[in-house]
Chains A and B, each alone.
Chain A
Protein backbone atom coordinates (compact mmCIF):
# COMPACT_ATOMS: atom_id res chain seq x y z
CA UNK A 1 0.00 0.00 0.00
CA UNK A 2 2.73 2.44 0.96
CA UNK A 3 4.64 1.54 -2.20
CA UNK A 4 1.64 2.64 -4.23
CA UNK A 5 1.60 5.96 -2.42
CA UNK A 6 5.32 6.44 -2.94
CA UNK A 7 4.93 5.72 -6.63
CA UNK A 8 2.10 8.24 -6.91
CA UNK A 9 4.22 10.95 -5.35
CA UNK A 10 7.27 10.11 -7.45
CA UNK A 11 5.25 10.00 -10.67
CA UNK A 12 3.69 13.36 -9.92
CA UNK A 13 7.10 14.91 -9.29
CA UNK A 14 8.43 13.20 -12.40
CA UNK A 15 5.75 14.66 -14.65
CA UNK A 16 6.32 18.13 -13.26
CA UNK A 17 10.03 17.80 -13.90
CA UNK A 18 9.51 16.48 -17.40
CA UNK A 19 7.32 19.44 -18.27
CA UNK A 20 10.52 21.49 -18.47
CA UNK A 21 11.97 19.37 -21.23
CA UNK A 22 9.21 19.06 -23.79
CA UNK A 23 11.37 20.00 -26.76
CA UNK A 24 13.95 17.47 -25.68
CA UNK A 25 11.44 14.66 -25.69
CA UNK A 26 10.32 15.69 -29.17
CA UNK A 27 13.92 15.37 -30.32
CA UNK A 28 14.25 11.92 -28.87
CA UNK A 29 11.28 11.07 -31.03
CA UNK A 30 13.38 11.83 -34.06
CA UNK A 31 15.96 9.30 -32.89
CA UNK A 32 13.19 6.78 -32.29
CA UNK A 33 11.74 7.16 -35.75
CA UNK A 34 14.78 7.53 -38.02
CA UNK A 35 16.35 4.10 -37.73
CA UNK A 36 13.15 2.11 -38.34
CA UNK A 37 12.38 4.30 -41.35
CA UNK A 38 15.88 3.63 -42.72
CA UNK A 39 15.52 -0.12 -42.51
CA UNK A 40 11.95 0.08 -43.76
CA UNK A 41 13.20 1.89 -46.85
CA UNK A 42 15.90 -0.73 -47.38
CA UNK A 43 13.44 -3.64 -47.10
CA UNK A 44 11.00 -1.92 -49.44
CA UNK A 45 13.82 -1.70 -51.98
CA UNK A 46 14.51 -5.41 -51.52
CA UNK A 47 10.83 -6.29 -51.82
CA UNK A 48 10.49 -4.23 -54.99
CA UNK A 49 13.59 -5.86 -56.48
CA UNK A 50 12.09 -9.29 -55.76
CA UNK A 51 8.72 -8.51 -57.32
CA UNK A 52 6.96 -7.26 -54.19
CA UNK A 53 7.11 -10.26 -51.87
CA UNK A 54 9.86 -11.79 -49.71
CA UNK A 55 9.05 -14.72 -47.49
CA UNK A 56 5.43 -13.62 -47.10
CA UNK A 57 6.35 -9.98 -46.45
CA UNK A 58 4.88 -7.42 -48.82
CA UNK A 59 5.73 -3.72 -48.74
CA UNK A 60 2.72 -3.07 -46.48
CA UNK A 61 3.84 -5.80 -44.07
CA UNK A 62 7.28 -4.27 -43.76
CA UNK A 63 5.69 -0.90 -43.06
CA UNK A 64 3.45 -2.42 -40.38
CA UNK A 65 6.41 -4.29 -38.90
CA UNK A 66 8.59 -1.21 -38.57
CA UNK A 67 5.77 1.00 -37.29
CA UNK A 68 5.06 -1.59 -34.59
CA UNK A 69 8.80 -1.94 -33.95
CA UNK A 70 9.10 1.80 -33.32
CA UNK A 71 6.12 1.75 -31.00
CA UNK A 72 7.45 -1.25 -29.09
CA UNK A 73 11.00 0.06 -28.77
CA UNK A 74 9.66 3.30 -27.40
CA UNK A 75 7.63 1.37 -24.84
CA UNK A 76 10.40 -1.03 -23.85
CA UNK A 77 13.49 1.16 -23.97
CA UNK A 78 15.70 1.49 -20.90
CA UNK A 79 18.72 3.68 -20.37
CA UNK A 80 19.87 3.19 -16.79
CA UNK A 81 23.19 1.68 -17.78
CA UNK A 82 24.19 5.01 -19.30
CA UNK A 83 23.43 7.02 -16.19
CA UNK A 84 24.48 4.53 -13.61
CA UNK A 85 28.16 4.67 -14.52
CA UNK A 86 28.10 8.41 -13.88
CA UNK A 87 26.32 8.00 -10.57
CA UNK A 88 28.88 5.46 -9.43
CA UNK A 89 31.89 7.42 -10.67
CA UNK A 90 30.67 10.64 -9.11
CA UNK A 91 29.77 8.94 -5.87
CA UNK A 92 26.20 10.16 -6.31
CA UNK A 93 24.89 6.70 -5.70
CA UNK A 94 25.80 6.94 -2.02
CA UNK A 95 22.93 9.31 -1.30
CA UNK A 96 20.48 7.06 -3.10
CA UNK A 97 21.68 3.97 -1.27
CA UNK A 98 20.96 5.64 2.06
CA UNK A 99 17.32 6.13 1.20
CA UNK A 100 14.90 3.46 2.31
CA UNK A 101 13.76 2.86 -1.28
CA UNK A 102 15.80 0.71 -3.67
CA UNK A 103 17.37 2.88 -6.46
CA UNK A 104 15.55 0.63 -8.91
CA UNK A 105 12.24 2.30 -8.09
CA UNK A 106 13.44 5.77 -9.01
CA UNK A 107 14.47 4.53 -12.38
CA UNK A 108 11.15 2.72 -12.90
CA UNK A 109 9.35 6.02 -12.34
CA UNK A 110 11.70 7.97 -14.59
CA UNK A 111 11.16 5.36 -17.25
CA UNK A 112 7.37 5.48 -16.99
CA UNK A 113 7.26 9.27 -17.06
CA UNK A 114 9.34 9.48 -20.21
CA UNK A 115 7.25 6.90 -22.03
CA UNK A 116 3.87 8.33 -21.06
CA UNK A 117 5.08 11.79 -22.00
CA UNK A 118 6.29 10.90 -25.46
CA UNK A 119 3.54 8.48 -26.40
CA UNK A 120 0.89 10.91 -27.73
CA UNK A 121 3.22 12.59 -30.22
CA UNK A 122 4.77 9.31 -31.26
CA UNK A 123 1.29 7.92 -31.86
CA UNK A 124 0.50 10.71 -34.29
CA UNK A 125 3.84 10.34 -36.07
CA UNK A 126 3.37 6.58 -36.41
CA UNK A 127 -0.12 7.00 -37.86
CA UNK A 128 1.35 9.33 -40.47
CA UNK A 129 4.13 6.84 -41.28
CA UNK A 130 1.55 4.04 -41.51
CA UNK A 131 -0.51 5.99 -44.00
CA UNK A 132 2.39 7.22 -46.13
CA UNK A 133 3.92 3.74 -46.46
CA UNK A 134 0.58 1.95 -46.80
CA UNK A 135 1.02 -0.34 -43.82
CA UNK A 136 -1.08 -3.51 -43.74
CA UNK A 137 -1.95 -4.82 -40.28
CA UNK A 138 -3.05 -8.42 -39.86
CA UNK A 139 -3.92 -7.77 -36.24
CA UNK A 140 -6.96 -9.41 -34.65
CA UNK A 141 -8.54 -8.64 -31.32
CA UNK A 142 -6.76 -11.50 -29.56
CA UNK A 143 -3.45 -10.18 -30.90
CA UNK A 144 -4.05 -6.90 -29.10
CA UNK A 145 -5.07 -8.70 -25.92
CA UNK A 146 -1.89 -10.79 -26.07
CA UNK A 147 0.18 -7.74 -26.93
CA UNK A 148 -0.47 -6.06 -23.59
CA UNK A 149 1.16 -8.68 -21.33
CA UNK A 150 3.84 -9.29 -23.95
CA UNK A 151 4.94 -5.67 -24.16
CA UNK A 152 4.92 -5.33 -20.37
CA UNK A 153 7.08 -8.45 -20.05
CA UNK A 154 9.39 -7.14 -22.77
CA UNK A 155 9.77 -3.78 -21.05
CA UNK A 156 10.44 -5.45 -17.70
CA UNK A 157 12.95 -7.82 -19.30
CA UNK A 158 14.86 -5.08 -21.11
CA UNK A 159 14.76 -2.91 -18.00
CA UNK A 160 16.13 -5.63 -15.73
CA UNK A 161 18.74 -6.68 -18.27
CA UNK A 162 19.86 -3.10 -18.54
CA UNK A 163 20.17 -2.96 -14.76
CA UNK A 164 22.36 -6.04 -14.76
CA UNK A 165 24.67 -4.29 -17.22
CA UNK A 166 24.49 -1.06 -15.22
CA UNK A 167 25.55 -2.90 -12.11
CA UNK A 168 28.79 -3.90 -13.79
CA UNK A 169 29.82 -0.28 -13.23
CA UNK A 170 30.56 -1.20 -9.64
CA UNK A 171 33.63 -3.02 -10.91
CA UNK A 172 34.43 -1.38 -14.23
CA UNK A 173 34.82 2.36 -14.49
CA UNK A 174 34.31 2.55 -18.21
CA UNK A 175 30.95 1.17 -19.20
CA UNK A 176 30.69 2.55 -22.70
CA UNK A 177 32.09 -0.61 -24.24
CA UNK A 178 29.58 -2.80 -22.40
CA UNK A 179 26.79 -0.49 -23.51
CA UNK A 180 27.93 -0.54 -27.11
CA UNK A 181 28.11 -4.31 -27.02
CA UNK A 182 24.56 -4.46 -25.66
CA UNK A 183 23.22 -1.95 -28.20
CA UNK A 184 24.79 -3.78 -31.12
CA UNK A 185 23.54 -7.14 -29.83
CA UNK A 186 20.04 -5.69 -29.75
CA UNK A 187 20.61 -4.28 -33.22
CA UNK A 188 21.29 -7.75 -34.61
CA UNK A 189 19.09 -10.02 -32.51
CA UNK A 190 16.12 -7.91 -31.39
CA UNK A 191 14.61 -7.62 -34.86
CA UNK A 192 15.78 -4.12 -35.79
CA UNK A 193 17.57 -5.07 -38.99
CA UNK A 194 14.99 -7.61 -40.12
CA UNK A 195 11.88 -9.44 -38.97
CA UNK A 196 13.07 -12.69 -37.43
CA UNK A 197 11.41 -14.73 -40.17
CA UNK A 198 13.73 -13.21 -42.77
CA UNK A 199 16.94 -13.87 -40.85
CA UNK A 200 19.19 -16.68 -42.08
CA UNK A 201 18.20 -19.96 -40.40
CA UNK A 202 21.02 -20.22 -37.87
CA UNK A 203 20.61 -16.58 -36.81
CA UNK A 204 16.91 -17.24 -36.33
CA UNK A 205 17.62 -20.18 -34.04
CA UNK A 206 20.11 -18.12 -32.01
CA UNK A 207 17.62 -15.24 -31.75
CA UNK A 208 14.87 -17.50 -30.41
CA UNK A 209 17.25 -18.86 -27.77
CA UNK A 210 18.67 -15.51 -26.60
CA UNK A 211 16.66 -12.98 -24.58
CA UNK A 212 17.04 -10.07 -27.02
CA UNK A 213 14.31 -10.88 -29.52
CA UNK A 214 11.83 -11.09 -26.62
CA UNK A 215 12.66 -7.48 -25.72
CA UNK A 216 11.45 -5.95 -28.99
CA UNK A 217 10.87 -8.30 -31.89
CA UNK A 218 8.38 -10.59 -30.16
CA UNK A 219 5.81 -7.96 -29.11
CA UNK A 220 6.27 -6.33 -32.51
CA UNK A 221 5.27 -9.51 -34.28
CA UNK A 222 2.24 -9.89 -32.01
CA UNK A 223 1.10 -6.31 -32.55
CA UNK A 224 1.29 -6.51 -36.32
CA UNK A 225 -0.56 -9.81 -36.23
CA UNK A 226 2.28 -11.89 -37.63
CA UNK A 227 2.03 -14.85 -35.24
CA UNK A 228 -0.37 -17.70 -34.45
CA UNK A 229 -1.89 -18.33 -31.02
CA UNK A 230 0.55 -21.15 -30.43
CA UNK A 231 3.49 -18.88 -31.18
CA UNK A 232 2.08 -16.24 -28.84
CA UNK A 233 2.03 -18.79 -26.04
CA UNK A 234 5.66 -19.70 -26.77
CA UNK A 235 6.63 -16.04 -26.78
CA UNK A 236 4.97 -15.34 -23.44
CA UNK A 237 6.68 -18.35 -21.90
CA UNK A 238 10.06 -17.36 -23.33
CA UNK A 239 9.64 -13.84 -22.00
CA UNK A 240 8.63 -15.02 -18.53
CA UNK A 241 11.54 -17.45 -18.29
CA UNK A 242 14.08 -14.84 -19.36
CA UNK A 243 12.58 -12.24 -17.04
CA UNK A 244 12.86 -14.62 -14.11
CA UNK A 245 16.47 -15.48 -14.95
CA UNK A 246 17.40 -11.83 -15.39
CA UNK A 247 15.72 -10.84 -12.15
CA UNK A 248 17.58 -13.45 -10.14
CA UNK A 249 20.83 -12.48 -11.84
CA UNK A 250 20.22 -8.85 -11.00
CA UNK A 251 19.62 -9.52 -7.31
CA UNK A 252 22.73 -11.61 -7.09
CA UNK A 253 24.99 -9.18 -8.91
CA UNK A 254 23.53 -6.15 -7.13
CA UNK A 255 24.22 -7.56 -3.66
CA UNK A 256 27.82 -8.27 -4.54
CA UNK A 257 28.17 -4.94 -6.31
CA UNK A 258 26.98 -2.81 -3.43
CA UNK A 259 29.51 -4.57 -1.24
CA UNK A 260 32.27 -3.82 -3.74
CA UNK A 261 31.19 -0.21 -4.08
CA UNK A 262 33.16 2.42 -2.26
CA UNK A 263 32.04 5.74 -3.66
CA UNK A 264 34.98 6.96 -5.69
CA UNK A 265 36.95 9.18 -3.34
CA UNK A 266 35.01 8.20 -0.24
Chain B
Protein backbone atom coordinates (compact mmCIF):
# COMPACT_ATOMS: atom_id res chain seq x y z
CA UNK B 1 0.00 0.00 0.00
CA UNK B 2 2.75 2.45 1.03
CA UNK B 3 4.65 1.53 -2.08
CA UNK B 4 1.66 2.43 -4.25
CA UNK B 5 1.16 5.73 -2.47
CA UNK B 6 4.79 6.54 -3.19
CA UNK B 7 4.35 5.64 -6.86
CA UNK B 8 1.26 7.82 -7.14
CA UNK B 9 3.14 10.62 -5.35
CA UNK B 10 5.85 10.40 -8.01
CA UNK B 11 3.25 10.58 -10.77
CA UNK B 12 1.72 13.70 -9.23
CA UNK B 13 5.12 15.38 -8.82
CA UNK B 14 6.00 14.67 -12.45
CA UNK B 15 2.69 16.11 -13.59
CA UNK B 16 3.11 19.20 -11.43
CA UNK B 17 6.52 19.97 -12.96
CA UNK B 18 5.03 19.60 -16.39
CA UNK B 19 2.04 21.87 -15.65
CA UNK B 20 4.16 24.58 -14.08
CA UNK B 21 5.54 25.29 -17.53
CA UNK B 22 2.13 26.59 -18.58
CA UNK B 23 1.02 28.93 -15.85
CA UNK B 24 -1.18 31.19 -17.93
CA UNK B 25 -2.98 28.06 -19.03
CA UNK B 26 -3.67 27.21 -15.39
CA UNK B 27 -5.03 30.67 -14.69
CA UNK B 28 -7.37 30.53 -17.67
CA UNK B 29 -8.52 27.09 -16.61
CA UNK B 30 -9.57 28.55 -13.27
CA UNK B 31 -11.41 31.39 -15.02
CA UNK B 32 -13.33 28.83 -17.08
CA UNK B 33 -14.31 26.89 -14.00
CA UNK B 34 -15.56 30.02 -12.27
CA UNK B 35 -17.73 30.71 -15.33
CA UNK B 36 -19.10 27.19 -15.44
CA UNK B 37 -19.89 26.89 -11.74
CA UNK B 38 -21.20 30.45 -11.53
CA UNK B 39 -23.64 29.98 -14.39
CA UNK B 40 -24.78 26.61 -13.04
CA UNK B 41 -25.59 28.22 -9.72
CA UNK B 42 -27.35 30.97 -11.66
CA UNK B 43 -29.56 28.36 -13.29
CA UNK B 44 -30.49 26.95 -9.88
CA UNK B 45 -31.27 30.43 -8.57
CA UNK B 46 -33.53 31.14 -11.55
CA UNK B 47 -35.46 27.94 -10.88
CA UNK B 48 -35.87 28.93 -7.25
CA UNK B 49 -37.28 32.35 -8.05
CA UNK B 50 -40.48 30.42 -8.83
CA UNK B 51 -40.52 27.87 -6.05
CA UNK B 52 -39.14 27.09 -2.63
CA UNK B 53 -38.70 23.40 -3.20
CA UNK B 54 -37.71 21.23 -6.14
CA UNK B 55 -39.25 17.83 -5.60
CA UNK B 56 -38.56 18.27 -1.87
CA UNK B 57 -35.09 19.80 -2.29
CA UNK B 58 -34.65 23.26 -0.81
CA UNK B 59 -32.42 25.94 -2.30
CA UNK B 60 -29.66 25.26 0.25
CA UNK B 61 -29.77 21.55 -0.52
CA UNK B 62 -29.71 22.21 -4.26
CA UNK B 63 -26.65 24.43 -3.87
CA UNK B 64 -24.91 21.71 -1.91
CA UNK B 65 -25.87 19.26 -4.65
CA UNK B 66 -24.39 21.54 -7.31
CA UNK B 67 -21.16 21.61 -5.31
CA UNK B 68 -21.17 17.81 -5.08
CA UNK B 69 -21.70 17.60 -8.84
CA UNK B 70 -18.51 19.55 -9.46
CA UNK B 71 -16.66 17.59 -6.76
CA UNK B 72 -17.48 14.30 -8.46
CA UNK B 73 -16.77 15.65 -11.92
CA UNK B 74 -13.58 17.29 -10.70
CA UNK B 75 -12.39 14.13 -8.99
CA UNK B 76 -12.93 12.06 -12.10
CA UNK B 77 -11.41 14.70 -14.37
CA UNK B 78 -8.42 15.08 -12.04
CA UNK B 79 -7.27 11.49 -11.98
CA UNK B 80 -9.12 8.95 -14.05
CA UNK B 81 -9.98 10.88 -17.15
CA UNK B 82 -6.44 11.87 -18.16
CA UNK B 83 -5.07 8.45 -17.20
CA UNK B 84 -7.69 6.54 -19.17
CA UNK B 85 -7.25 8.75 -22.19
CA UNK B 86 -3.57 7.83 -22.25
CA UNK B 87 -4.44 4.20 -21.63
CA UNK B 88 -6.66 4.09 -24.71
CA UNK B 89 -3.84 5.59 -26.71
CA UNK B 90 -1.46 2.93 -25.39
CA UNK B 91 -3.83 0.19 -26.48
CA UNK B 92 -4.14 1.74 -29.91
CA UNK B 93 -0.38 2.18 -30.35
CA UNK B 94 0.59 -1.09 -28.72
CA UNK B 95 2.76 0.69 -26.16
CA UNK B 96 0.84 -0.75 -23.23
CA UNK B 97 3.44 -3.53 -23.10
CA UNK B 98 5.90 -1.27 -21.31
CA UNK B 99 3.52 -0.65 -18.43
CA UNK B 100 2.46 -4.27 -18.17
CA UNK B 101 6.09 -5.30 -17.73
CA UNK B 102 6.48 -3.14 -14.64
CA UNK B 103 6.50 -5.00 -11.32
CA UNK B 104 3.33 -3.41 -9.93
CA UNK B 105 -0.42 -3.77 -10.34
CA UNK B 106 -1.24 -2.59 -13.84
CA UNK B 107 -4.73 -1.42 -12.90
CA UNK B 108 -3.38 0.95 -10.25
CA UNK B 109 -0.55 2.18 -12.45
CA UNK B 110 -2.76 2.84 -15.43
CA UNK B 111 -5.65 4.39 -13.50
CA UNK B 112 -3.46 6.92 -11.72
CA UNK B 113 -0.65 7.54 -14.17
CA UNK B 114 -1.73 11.01 -15.28
CA UNK B 115 -3.24 13.90 -13.37
CA UNK B 116 -4.94 16.98 -14.73
CA UNK B 117 -3.83 19.06 -11.77
CA UNK B 118 -5.82 22.06 -12.94
CA UNK B 119 -8.88 20.10 -11.81
CA UNK B 120 -7.85 20.62 -8.22
CA UNK B 121 -9.43 24.01 -8.79
CA UNK B 122 -12.75 22.27 -9.51
CA UNK B 123 -12.44 20.43 -6.23
CA UNK B 124 -11.68 23.59 -4.29
CA UNK B 125 -14.60 25.46 -5.87
CA UNK B 126 -16.90 22.49 -5.53
CA UNK B 127 -16.07 22.33 -1.83
CA UNK B 128 -16.64 26.06 -1.59
CA UNK B 129 -20.12 25.68 -3.06
CA UNK B 130 -20.91 22.77 -0.74
CA UNK B 131 -19.84 24.89 2.21
CA UNK B 132 -22.10 27.72 1.09
CA UNK B 133 -24.94 25.21 0.92
CA UNK B 134 -24.00 23.90 4.37
CA UNK B 135 -23.90 27.38 5.80
CA UNK B 136 -27.45 27.96 4.56
CA UNK B 137 -28.49 24.59 5.99
CA UNK B 138 -26.64 25.16 9.27
CA UNK B 139 -29.40 23.87 11.54
CA UNK B 140 -29.30 20.32 10.28
CA UNK B 141 -25.58 19.54 9.92
CA UNK B 142 -24.45 16.78 12.29
CA UNK B 143 -21.33 14.71 12.75
CA UNK B 144 -23.13 11.80 11.13
CA UNK B 145 -24.08 13.82 8.09
CA UNK B 146 -20.46 14.93 7.65
CA UNK B 147 -19.06 11.40 7.99
CA UNK B 148 -21.68 9.87 5.72
CA UNK B 149 -21.10 12.68 3.25
CA UNK B 150 -17.37 11.97 3.05
CA UNK B 151 -17.96 8.24 2.65
CA UNK B 152 -20.69 8.50 0.03
CA UNK B 153 -18.69 11.11 -1.87
CA UNK B 154 -15.74 8.71 -2.07
CA UNK B 155 -18.18 5.99 -3.15
CA UNK B 156 -19.57 8.30 -5.83
CA UNK B 157 -16.15 8.89 -7.33
CA UNK B 158 -15.39 5.16 -7.20
CA UNK B 159 -18.72 4.31 -8.84
CA UNK B 160 -17.90 6.54 -11.78
CA UNK B 161 -14.39 5.06 -11.76
CA UNK B 162 -15.84 1.55 -12.01
CA UNK B 163 -17.90 2.58 -15.02
CA UNK B 164 -14.98 4.29 -16.74
CA UNK B 165 -12.70 1.33 -16.06
CA UNK B 166 -15.23 -1.03 -17.63
CA UNK B 167 -15.56 1.27 -20.62
CA UNK B 168 -11.82 1.54 -21.27
CA UNK B 169 -11.54 -2.22 -20.85
CA UNK B 170 -13.71 -2.49 -23.95
CA UNK B 171 -10.84 -0.95 -25.89
CA UNK B 172 -8.96 -4.25 -25.62
CA UNK B 173 -11.52 -5.64 -28.03
CA UNK B 174 -12.68 -2.65 -30.04
CA UNK B 175 -9.57 -0.41 -29.89
CA UNK B 176 -11.53 2.73 -30.76
CA UNK B 177 -14.15 3.45 -28.14
CA UNK B 178 -14.42 7.24 -28.33
CA UNK B 179 -18.07 6.88 -29.23
CA UNK B 180 -18.86 4.84 -26.14
CA UNK B 181 -17.04 7.36 -23.97
CA UNK B 182 -19.04 10.13 -25.62
CA UNK B 183 -22.26 8.51 -24.39
CA UNK B 184 -20.95 8.69 -20.85
CA UNK B 185 -20.09 12.38 -21.20
CA UNK B 186 -23.51 13.12 -22.65
CA UNK B 187 -25.17 11.72 -19.55
CA UNK B 188 -22.94 13.44 -17.00
CA UNK B 189 -24.79 16.68 -17.57
CA UNK B 190 -27.81 15.08 -15.94
CA UNK B 191 -25.95 14.91 -12.62
CA UNK B 192 -26.62 18.58 -12.01
CA UNK B 193 -30.11 17.89 -10.68
CA UNK B 194 -31.24 15.30 -8.14
CA UNK B 195 -31.95 11.98 -9.76
CA UNK B 196 -35.50 11.77 -8.37
CA UNK B 197 -36.49 14.61 -10.69
CA UNK B 198 -36.16 12.62 -13.87
CA UNK B 199 -38.60 10.45 -15.80
CA UNK B 200 -38.24 6.70 -15.28
CA UNK B 201 -36.01 5.79 -18.21
CA UNK B 202 -33.49 8.51 -17.40
CA UNK B 203 -33.56 7.81 -13.66
CA UNK B 204 -32.90 4.15 -14.38
CA UNK B 205 -29.97 4.96 -16.68
CA UNK B 206 -28.45 7.37 -14.16
CA UNK B 207 -28.74 4.84 -11.35
CA UNK B 208 -27.34 1.81 -13.13
CA UNK B 209 -25.63 2.04 -16.50
CA UNK B 210 -24.25 5.57 -16.05
CA UNK B 211 -24.28 5.98 -12.25
CA UNK B 212 -23.47 9.69 -12.26
CA UNK B 213 -26.95 10.42 -10.91
CA UNK B 214 -26.50 8.21 -7.86
CA UNK B 215 -22.93 9.39 -7.42
CA UNK B 216 -24.06 13.00 -7.05
CA UNK B 217 -27.47 12.65 -5.45
CA UNK B 218 -26.56 10.34 -2.58
CA UNK B 219 -23.73 12.46 -1.09
CA UNK B 220 -25.95 15.52 -1.47
CA UNK B 221 -28.70 13.68 0.40
CA UNK B 222 -26.17 12.74 3.07
CA UNK B 223 -25.00 16.29 3.69
CA UNK B 224 -28.52 17.66 3.77
CA UNK B 225 -29.56 15.01 6.25
CA UNK B 226 -32.21 13.38 4.09
CA UNK B 227 -30.48 10.09 3.39
CA UNK B 228 -31.90 6.88 4.81
CA UNK B 229 -29.67 4.20 6.38
CA UNK B 230 -30.74 1.81 3.65
CA UNK B 231 -29.43 4.18 1.00
CA UNK B 232 -26.16 4.55 2.90
CA UNK B 233 -25.59 0.78 3.21
CA UNK B 234 -26.73 0.28 -0.37
CA UNK B 235 -24.26 2.87 -1.60
CA UNK B 236 -21.31 1.26 0.22
CA UNK B 237 -22.17 -2.27 -0.85
CA UNK B 238 -23.03 -1.21 -4.39
CA UNK B 239 -19.74 0.61 -4.82
CA UNK B 240 -17.67 -2.31 -3.55
CA UNK B 241 -19.53 -4.65 -5.89
CA UNK B 242 -19.22 -2.28 -8.86
CA UNK B 243 -15.48 -1.78 -8.37
CA UNK B 244 -14.93 -5.53 -7.89
CA UNK B 245 -16.91 -6.30 -11.05
CA UNK B 246 -15.09 -3.65 -13.07
CA UNK B 247 -11.73 -4.89 -11.89
CA UNK B 248 -12.68 -8.49 -12.76
CA UNK B 249 -13.75 -7.36 -16.21
CA UNK B 250 -10.47 -5.45 -16.53
CA UNK B 251 -8.45 -8.61 -15.86
CA UNK B 252 -10.39 -10.49 -18.52
CA UNK B 253 -9.76 -7.66 -20.95
CA UNK B 254 -6.08 -7.58 -20.11
CA UNK B 255 -5.77 -11.27 -20.92
CA UNK B 256 -7.25 -10.40 -24.28
CA UNK B 257 -4.64 -7.75 -25.02
CA UNK B 258 -2.08 -9.03 -27.47
CA UNK B 259 0.36 -6.17 -27.74
CA UNK B 260 1.62 -4.43 -30.82
CA UNK B 261 3.61 -7.13 -32.50
CA UNK B 262 2.55 -10.28 -30.73
Contacts and interface: CB of A to CB of B under 8 A. Distances in A.
A180 B35 contact: yes
Contact of A181 (B25, B35, B51, B182): B35
A216 B47 CA distance: 19
A43 B193 CA distance: 11
> On chain B, which size bracket covers the interface?
20 to 34
Given A45-B197, A180-B32, A24 B50 contact: no
Given A41-B198, A187-B43, A46 B186 contact: no
A264 to B, nearest CB: 16
A146 B198 CA distance: 33
B186 A24 contact: no
Interface string A162-198: 0000000000001011001100100110000110001
B234 interface: no
A35 B189 CA distance: 7
B35 A42 contact: no
A262 to B, nearest CB: 21
Interface stretch (A49-57, A91-99, A222-230): A49-57
Nearest to A180: B32
Given A24-B179, A30-B183, A177-B32, A184 B47 contact: no
Interface in B26-60: 28, 31-32, 35-36, 38-39, 42-43, 46-47, 49-55
B190 interface: yes
B179 A23 contact: yes
B46 A41 contact: no
B103 interface: no
B232 interface: no
Interface in A99-139: 132-133
B152 to A, nearest CB: 22
B51 A187 contact: no
B187 interface: yes
Contacts of B193: 38, 41-42
A89 to B, nearest CB: 14
A132 B38 CA distance: 32
A41 B199 contact: yes
Contact of A38 (B42, B52, B182, B189): B189
B47 A194 contact: yes
A199 interface: yes
Contacts of B53: 49
Contacts of A30: 182-183, 186-187
Interface residues of A, number: 36
A91 to B, nearest CB: 21
A41 B25 CA distance: 36
Contacts of B35: 180-181, 184
A200 B49 contact: yes
A24 B181 CA distance: 12
A174 B32 CA distance: 12
B8 interface: no
Interface in A20-71: 23-24, 27, 30-31, 34-35, 37-39, 41-43, 45-46, 48-50, 54-55
B119 interface: no
B25 A46 contact: no
Interface in B47-92: 47, 49-55
A176 B187 contact: no
A192 B144 CA distance: 38
Contacts of B154: none
A48 B190 CA distance: 20
Nearest to A24: B179
B202 interface: yes
B199 to A, nearest CB: 7
Q: Would you list the 10 A-B pairs with minimal beta carbon distance, nearest first?
A: A193-B43, A30-B186, A184-B39, A180-B32, A45-B55, A177-B28, A46-B51, A184-B35, A31-B186, A41-B197
Given A48-B55, A176-B28, A177-B31, 9 more contacts: A39-B43, A41-B199, A49-B51, A49-B54, A49-B55, A54-B51, A174-B25, A184-B36, A194-B47
Interface of A: 23-24, 27, 30-31, 34-35, 37-39, 41-43, 45-46, 48-50, 54-55, 132-133, 174, 176-177, 180-181, 184, 187-188, 193-194, 198-200, 203
19 contacts: A30-B182, A30-B187, A31-B186, A34-B187, A37-B190, A38-B198, A42-B47, A45-B197, A49-B55, A50-B51, A54-B50, A180-B32, A181-B35, A184-B38, A187-B39, A188-B42, A188-B43, A193-B43, A198-B50
